[in-house]
Amino acid sequence: MSDALVQPDPGLYVWTIIVFLGLLVAANKLFWKPLLEAVRSREDTIRQSLDDARQAKEELAKLNVESQRILAEARKQAEVILSETRADASRLRDELKQKAQAESAGIVKNAEKQIELETARAVQQIRKEAVDLSVAIASKILQRNVTSQDNERLIEETFREVDASRPN
């Protein structure tokens, strides 16, 4: 009995090879092709994910550079706006200062004119009173009434004398 198992049987070899090849073909169709297809699909998915991740990383880098550029530009614009605001404030301060100086000069000038007018009125009033007093004194001294022509002549002479004696 044991000899039969050890003896080579070419039919058994052929059938073993045929069954093995049949199983290999069946395994190829049923298992190997779907398995290879799944591995290829998974490989493609992983490759696509890696490509997408690489693209996302590149986009992120570009966006980061762009945001840094925009931020730098915004800072420059803020500095320009701040500088312009300071310049405008300085200009406005200078304008207000000049305007105030002009107004104060105008007020001083108007006050000086008003003082001159009031001084001229006061001098005129004093002259009139001095003339009236002088006429009254002269009338008493002369014991007569001075006529209006005499009065005018005396006033003119007095003014000329006062103007001549006054320093310029």
Can you tell me the distance from the alpha carbon of 4 to that of 15, in angstroms, rounded to the nearest whole number? 17
Higher-pLDDT residue of 149, 104: 104
Is the model's pTM score more than 0.75?
Answer: no
160-166 contacts, C-beta under 8 A, 24 or more apart: 162/127
Grouping H, G, I as helix, E, B as strand and the rest as coil, residue 94 is helix
Q: Tell me, what's the pLDDT at 58?
A: 95
Mean pLDDT to the nearest integer, 32-50? 92
Tens of pLDDT along 76-112?
999 999 999 999 999 999 999 999 999 999 999 999 9
For residue 33, what pLDDT band results from cuts at 50, 70 and 90? confident
Mean pLDDT, the chain, integer? 85
Can you tell me the distance from the alpha carbon of 145 to that of 148, in angstroms, rounded to the nearest whole number? 9
Q: Tell me, what's the pLDDT at 132?
A: 73
